[in-house]
Amino acid sequence: MSRRNVPHAFTAVDSQARPAELVEVLKRLTAEPFYESYKRRLRSLLRAGPGGRFLDVGAGAGDGALALSTESGAQVVGADSSLTMATAMKGAGLGHVVVADGHRLPFRDSCFDGACADRVLQHVEDPARAVDEMCRVVRPGGRVVLADPDYATQVLDIEDQHLAAQVLCFRAEANLRNGTLAHRHAGMLAARALEDVAVEAHTLVVRDPTAVDNVMGLRSWAHTAAARGHLDTADADRFVVQFDQAVRTGRLTYAVTFFVTSGTVPVAGVPAHREGVDR
């Protein structure tokens, strides 16, 4: 089989046939109790308050940036490389919106009190450079918070566990640029000499196939893998049969762990990171 890696939709939002649909995907996920819970924790780790200035990198539809501004009274800038997402942020009422590539943030050094990237590093071309940029624009003593699922932690209960592993591996290693990076976020912050680096694990467990936007489209992953040459079509068909059987019998369980990682930019400044730690 020929193997083709096609960028995940959120890697190139504006080039999708119906980019506005991705805005709706983000809004549906934000409404899920699990997502609302970990995102609330992410915001608290920024330690935002009135008079502060914070940056949400890859802010998407802007729900997180708006919530941070409302809860804290801080000024929050939403930055996203997608014009579609920037338009959605403005439409939602976010007052400070910038179309910007996270690899080259258009801000001066040390101009924010904190920065976050929520489910962003899994999609970017160069996560190390994006973290460098976040650290650059945050003042000494300010906060950097990262959150992503780590798809190396996935489990799925269907009858054929080898087939399940093949499909989950496709999601982790071929369908996303950096699908298994999240457990290394702490090392990336430590390599940049951030202080008080802390990691929290938040595990999403799904048993209802209609929840979490239909488990992030899990039922379709096998046929996506087959279309891209990573799985035989017959195996993809068999995966769907077993998935549906697991739903009917009540055995369906899917889980993946999100890592929320935070650190403080040292007051003495941010020295160059040590080569080889995160590349």
- Report pLDDT digits (tens) over 73-110: 999 999 999 999 999 999 999 999 999 999 999 999 99
pLDDT in the model for residue 273: 46
pLDDT in the model for residue 270: 42
Give the angle 107-35-134 at the CA atoms, nearest 5°: 20
pLDDT in the model for residue 131: 98
pLDDT in the model for residue 8: 74
Across 165-193, average pLDDT: 97
The verdict on residue 4 lying in a domain is: no
Task: Tell me 208's DSSP state.
Answer: -
The verdict on residue 277 lying in a domain is: no
Whole-number average pLDDT of the chain = 93
Overall number of domains in the chain: 1
Q: How far apart are CA 205 and CA 257, in angstroms?
A: 9
Residue 15's pLDDT band, with cuts at 50, 70 and 90, is confident
CATH number at residue 169: 3.40.50.150
The verdict on residue 148 lying in a domain is: yes
Q: Does residue 265 carry a pLDDT above 60? A: yes
Task: Yes or no: say if 78 and 123 are a contact pair by the CB < 8 Å rule.
Answer: no
The percent of residues in the chain predicted with pLDDT above 70, rounded, is 94
Residue 268's pLDDT band, with cuts at 50, 70 and 90, is confident
254-264 sheet: strands from edge to edge = 96-99, 75-80, 53-57, 112-118, 138-156, 254-264, 195-206
Query: Tokens representing 91?
Result: 């439409």
Across 212-226, average pLDDT: 97
Q: Does residue 271 carry a pLDDT above 60? A: no
Task: Calculate the dihedral angle through the C-alpha atoms of 65, 70, 72, 78, rounding to the nearest 10 degrees.
Answer: 20
Token pair 């935070």: residue = 262
> In a 10 Å sphere around its CB, with 0-12 CB exposed, 13-18 middle and 19+ buried, how is residue 101 labelled?
middle
Token pair 């096609």: residue = 6
The verdict on residue 103 lying in a domain is: yes
pLDDT in the model for residue 199: 98
Token pair 């996506």: residue = 224
Q: How far apart are CA 251 and CA 43, in angstroms?
A: 34
Continuous segment of H or E residues that includes residue 97: strand 96-99
Token pair 């993809």: residue = 236
The verdict on residue 54 lying in a domain is: yes
pLDDT digits (tens, 9 = 90+) for 241-253: 999 999 999 999 9
* Domain that residue 106 falls in: 10-264
pLDDT in the model for residue 10: 82
Across 123-150, average pLDDT: 98
Q: Does residue 113 carry a pLDDT above 80? A: yes
Residue 17's pLDDT band, with cuts at 50, 70 and 90, is confident
pLDDT in the model for residue 11: 82
The verdict on residue 279 lying in a domain is: no
The verdict on residue 1 lying in a domain is: no
Crossing angle (nearest 10°) for helices 63-72 and 33-46: 50
How do beta strands 96-99 and 112-118 pair? unpaired
Residue 278's pLDDT band, with cuts at 50, 70 and 90, is very low
Q: Does residue 46 carry a pLDDT above 80? A: yes
Could you tell me where the DSSP H helices lie in the chain?
20-30, 33-46, 63-72, 83-92, 127-137, 161-173, 185-191, 211-217, 221-227, 233-249
pLDDT in the model for residue 67: 97
Crossing angle (nearest 10°) for helices 83-92 and 63-72: 40
Q: Does residue 7 carry a pLDDT above 80? A: no
Sign of CA dihedral 151, 152, 158, 161: positive
Across 11-36, average pLDDT: 89
The verdict on residue 194 lying in a domain is: yes
